[in-house]
A = this chain, B = another copy of it.
């Protein structure tokens, strides 16, 4: 637990100044969980009342299409928060699932515990303000990318911006995220292999 809490504390300090003493109070509000590769953190249709700070590992968030295939809409790695945030905010049924791509250690907090935590350390609102502003800002850039780039350009943009992902994420998930068939992704990769 100590190491993962320290990772969260370091992330908070990097983004928003809060006294070390106060951050010492964080631990009991969180649950430390380890998910094995392919284990599910959140299931579409179940009530979503938790959000997850990734201390180690990698997850993807997806929904199931009418034809039964999974569509990945995003990934999360170390120092990211992940959840179905609409469902989390409303305490509603999740419209997405989240699954570990590799062994993943998270700090998990429920809506109720978060309410208590923010009562105790209201300064954390300053941290979350900036975390979500940045997440939303990244979405604005991603919409631009989606309008602007061809499928092949999307692949290059992604590999340029997130080289670490290219190593960690299985090809079929990357293809899903980019809106490709796995075959199309494989063709592009062959074309540009050194």
Which A residues contact B (CB, under 8 angstroms)?
Answer: 61, 63, 65, 71, 73-74, 84-86, 88-89, 95-96, 118, 122-123, 125-126, 128-130, 132-144, 146-148, 179
Q: Of B118, B126, B133, B139, which one neighbours A89 at CB under 8 angstroms?
A: B133
In Å, the complex CA distance between A148 and B176 comes to: 12
Taking the full assembly, how many copies of this chain does it contain?
2
Minimum Cβ distance to chain B for residue A59 (Å): 14
A86-B130 Cα distance, complex, nearest whole Å: 11
Q: B122 contacts A126, CB within 8 Å?
A: yes
Least distance between A134 CB and chain B CB atoms (Å): 6
B129 touches A125 (CB 8 A): yes
A148–B84 Cα distance when bound, in Å, is 17
B147–A71 touching, CB < 8 Å:
yes
A61 to B140, CA, bound (A): 10
